[in-house]
Amino acid sequence: MLRTIEEKKPLIHHLTNTVTINDCANMTLALGGSPVMADDLLEVEEMVALADAVVINTGTLNPAMRKAQLLAGKTANRLGKPIILDPVGAGATTLRTDFMKELMQQIQFTVIKGNVSEIKTLLGQATTTKGVDVAEGESLDLHAVRAFAAESNQVIVVTGPVDFVTDGQHELHLDVGTKRLGQVTGTGCMTASLIATLLGAGYARFEAAALGTYLMGKAGEQADEKKGIGDFRTGLFNAVSLMTEETLREVHFNEA
């Protein structure tokens, strides 16, 4: 897998949030991809045409970004490029909830990755959030997620203490990672970049979603040496950049 990414060096076009944009770029590079962050309407279509995969992240919305994300998604659909949606903060405000509905109505995504609150919003279920974080006690009906994935023909990744990946027919529970991943801003955004890099390298959508999610969890375990948060964040990039084929072969997915 890693050799394939290094050989292709897929170009990943991010229309992402300004809080984590640098980390997403560096995480893409760490896995062997090539990041680009271009959200001007005058170049979005051209950049999507050049890209191998597209990331749409709704973390910091504004009118120009919303238009750019819709245009990028439609262009990627027209050109057959894989798209991953990271619905950051979905359900927190009326603006975000309404924009999620618009995205889902107009764009066919390859993979959607979000936390419990965000995925519940996409399913039209009542939810509570703390900004972009999951509210304590939130739970999710996995049967509804399976049905949603099958009906929409999209792979759904629900991140949490145990990550859940499904396309409606196949599903995995990934018991990997550390609580410290929730103490660093942007680990979810970076996970989307890892999944997109795998998609851009030509991996099947379910495999890319599972492996990208696993990679972030495994990197978190390797970086978690009870040091400060700054060292942990740096350790994530080190772990992904130094990840070996042997480490990945140790993966044991729990398939439900």
Q: What is the pLDDT of residue 3?
A: 79
Q: What is the pLDDT of residue 135?
A: 47
**CA–CA dist 65, 183 (Å, integer):** 27
> Going by C-beta distance under 8 Å and a sequence separation of 6 or more, which residues neighbour residue 97?
90, 91, 121
CA torsion, ordered 235, 180, 12, 107, to nearest 10 deg: 180
Q: What is the pLDDT of residue 133?
A: 47
Q: How confident is the prediction along the chain (256 residues), in pLDDT tens digits per residue?
A: 677 898 899 999 999 999 999 999 999 999 999 999 999 999 999 999 999 999 999 999 999 999 999 999 999 999 999 999 999 999 999 999 999 999 999 999 999 999 999 999 999 887 655 544 444 556 788 999 999 999 999 999 999 999 999 999 999 999 999 999 999 999 999 999 999 999 999 999 999 999 999 999 999 999 987 778 899 999 999 999 998 877 776 655 555 4
Q: Taking phi first (over 0 means left), then psi (-120 to 50 degrees means alpha), and beta for anything else, what does residue 224 get? A: beta
Q: What is the pLDDT of residue 195?
A: 98
**CA–CA dist 57, 34 (Å, integer):** 17
Q: What is the pLDDT of residue 139?
A: 78
